[in-house]
Structure 1
């Protein structure tokens, strides 16, 4: 005899007993009861689902997934099984499969706010931020007291650049949970983006008062100190910049006195790459300095950047970034070098150029770039991963003011750009150099040589800006009103790169107005005229 939901009366009684034992902390008794239920009825879907849950809880993901899928093949309307399957797949980073599972659970039990909250989390991880925000709002309409959903909504809105709305979500999360360290941390981040630096600092301090070991709060407060020019405190917080489990090496106590050559002579130092190529280029100046002072430096980083970095003439040993073997006096991440060297705003080592283009490539691109007109290289897009802040990128149509300048040649430095991605007026003015531009195993070799022939580089905040600065080439960087810490607050120059000029949006992210301003300044600096607009 089957009861509602499947399973004989005897099997259901055993399952109920097992569930109660598990909830009471008697795990082995609970497992035995579920096993007994499945011996009586191997097709009892709810027992299969609960067996999957137990396996999942114990870290046996593959077995748990088999149980869930068997249960769902027998009873496809089991919302709990779909939900637990979604949790399992999220943990395995099978994000699209997880999203589908949560969506099925939500369709079956639309009244459960927690199901929607997790569905939103899967959408968020997939980068579908607008959809995630809408799903979080659904969860909150069902349960206005769900602080986790408010926090998640704030995270999605923040990534979308809707800072004022994100601030409201974080404030609501904090009202619901006054001890919510993550809520205060999120509030600090959006307050910083809104230029409310005192509020941001208070929020990070509140977060750390609640959770003194919060790496998110420590790192974000550190970046705020750096943005405001307080490097002494900033570098300490910056040491917590990695997400948990992704720190390449432990925090190092290493300290280097750049004024004392004897203290560095012969010292064996392993420097490990820890961020993107822009950071590597920016901080490689310290590797050069340490080696020139007699340190025995080994650089562990991506092979594709070795050739460019070796143009510095540094006497270093090169190895892959995962190869940390050997005996060293010090092991530290490359972006920890400013802290180790006690760098302050006024002592940033900025001797440029410290990287150089290869002579043969300079000659090659000289022939390709012959002709009249001021040559301006353009780059408008960086890393598109939403976690890396793609909002530093600039819509290509914002560059139309530059396309209307007379006696200017616009050189495309944007690798992978296609003409059909661009407004026609820009596409017709933009010179695409070749299909194999920087197409080899080594990064930026062609770009560096091309920059040797350019009168100016205009770029968003990406590795192209760091490369031009390290080469000592004239470069203008277009920034949001509140930019990343390395560009400081409100400055038009960069203490890291003497050849760099910074332009900031006057109103949030009004890129068109900013590029208009840059076009006027280019015209003034190079004594240019303006072409008629192409209709």
Structure 2
């Protein structure tokens, strides 16, 4: 190949890179394919791989970048792209191999150590992840994401002081970083520091889009006597968890208007102390507004010091709908929301739970994702509901609820139904870690926590013992 030809290829590759940077993928792809027609070129294959990675076509991305590596195995950038493609396809073992190869060729790039640490974190190899994140910080001391993930890893290891320290370092570097403030708040709440926790929890509002045009002044503790308070929706779990705190506000001659989902509309409309229930995007006339998750901050709530009444949700009709009066009726959910980032950690494989029930139990599936057509054999029946009011009526008639961290736990707790809650080693912030088997949020909920990450068997064995106790009552 002549020097002129090399120069032309170099110019074309630069054009392709510029198009790639502008997200003009068709143009970049066209140039690279023309280059490859003449002769295989590692950089052209690499650009094509990057395009496929952006388009989430991971297998094709891996195939193309491997061609780059076949031509030139000494370019660390190719291995970084390979590692990112493996990581994006959740093949973390191979992403680790690729990132380590890139580091063996050049160990001075902070971002590659960060990628390696994240792959280790995904595999729960926390000590290796910590080492990678510290190496990232050694090379780039203000690498905010590395400090952030260090905080999350330390939290998973129950080293909460170090977790808090890492989140604070994020904030020191970037004071207005909402995710760092929120994670710091959630860690504080998990360890029972409610004063600091509620303050930092307010940063969640920076991460959600709330229409502000028609909102009046935010309620921060002003007198509500003869005023109208609009409580803004923040999801059904927050609704069920925090709505109890709005009840006392009604006693101050305050008119309560509540935003909520269609699913919760009937249940909330049945609460006599709520004056009006509106859809989650409706903003009727009001004097003040408050996000439902901010009530605890304004009211300075610490659940450990509160005198609470249960149940705090009312139902018009409390008809028994459980079908087997001669058996212990148990409502069950073993899979948490599939939208949850913690889905895999919080859900339980059905194989582990197959033998905890007996003929004396009527086991009812309350998982909305399961129908009679795909009902596992461990259940006797399922209950499909159209809204939370219908579910509430049914749950209130059960003898026992057994659930993972799911909306059902909050609903059953609010209705004061006997509930066994199964949690991972480090749970969601709502289930304060300083309480072993209880929660200050719901007096009818008994908690069973993993001793070590991923160990559901010991939890299930304790649940089995508890079910037998219920049989004997």
Could you say which TM-score interval applies, normalised by the shorter chain?
A: 0.7 to 0.9
Count of paired positions: 463
Write out per-residue CA displacement over residues 455-483 of structure 1, whole angstroms, 9 at most, x where no aligned residue: 11111111111111112211111112322
Task: Note the 1:476-515 alignment, pairs <5 A.
Answer: 476-491=420-435, 492-515=437-460
Partner SS for 2:258? strand
Find the counterpart in structure 2 of residue 236 from structure 1.
199
- 1:304 corresponds in structure 2 to 263
CA distance in 2, matches of 1:89, 1:190: 31
2:206 matched to 1:248? no
Measured after TM superposition, the shift of residue 88 of structure 1 is: 7.1
1:52 aligned to which of 16, 19, 26: 19
Counterpart for residue 317 of structure 2 = 359
TM superposition shift of 1:116:
4.2
Among 346, 356, 371, the residue aligned to 2:304: 346
Which structure 2 residues correspond to residues 261-410 of structure 1 after superposition, within 5 A?
263-275=223-235, 277-323=236-282, 325=283, 328-348=286-306, 350-357=308-315, 359=317, 362=319, 365-366=321-322, 369-385=323-339, 387-403=341-357, 405=358, 407-410=360-363
Change (3 A) 1:5 1:227: farther
Question: Which residue matches 1:200?
Answer: 163
For the 8 Å contact 1:51–1:67, the answer to whether it is kept is no
SS for the counterpart of 2:230 is strand
Corresponding residue of 2:28: 68
C-alpha displacement of 1:176: 3.2
Residue 165 (str. 1) matches residue 128 (str. 2): yes
Contact 1:79–1:104 (Cα < 8 Å) also in 2: no
The SS at the match of 1:264 is coil
| TM-score (normalizing by structure 1) | 0.74
Partners of 2:340 and 2:120 in 1: how far apart?
12
The verdict on how the C-alpha distance between 1:356 and 1:421 changes in structure 2, with shifts beyond 3 A counting, is: same
Deviation of 1:101 after TM superposition, in Å, equals 4.3
Instruction: Give the conservation status (yes or no) of the 8 Å contact 1:127–1:386.
Output: no
For residue 356 of structure 1, report the CA deviation from its aligned partner: 4.1
Distance 1:497 1:119 in 2: 48
Please report how far the alpha carbon of residue 234 of structure 1 lies from its aligned counterpart in structure 2 after TM superposition: 0.8
Residue number in structure 1 paired with 2:409? 465
Equivalent in 409, 415, 432 of residue 381 of structure 2: 432
Inter-partner Cα distance in structure 2 for 1:338 and 1:373: 40
Residue matched to 2:150: 187
**Does structure 2 conserve the Cα–Cα contact (< 8 Å) formed by 1:106 and 1:112?**
no
Deviation sequence 1:147-191 (CA, Å, 0-9, x none): 223323333443444433333332332333333332222112211
Quote the residue 1:413 is aligned against: 366
2:185 is equivalent to residue 227 of structure 1: no
Aligned counterparts of 1:321 and 1:295: Cα–Cα separation in 2: 20
Gaps of 5+ in 2: none
Name which of structure 1's ranges 307-316 and 121-130 shifts more when overlaid on structure 2: 121-130
Residues 313 and 121 of structure 1, relative CA distance in 2, 3 Å threshold: farther
Alignment check: 8 A CA contact 1:181 1:211 kept: yes
Task: Report the alpha carbon displacement of residue 254 of structure 1 after superposing the two structures with TM.
Answer: 3.3
CA RMSD of aligned residues (A): 3.7
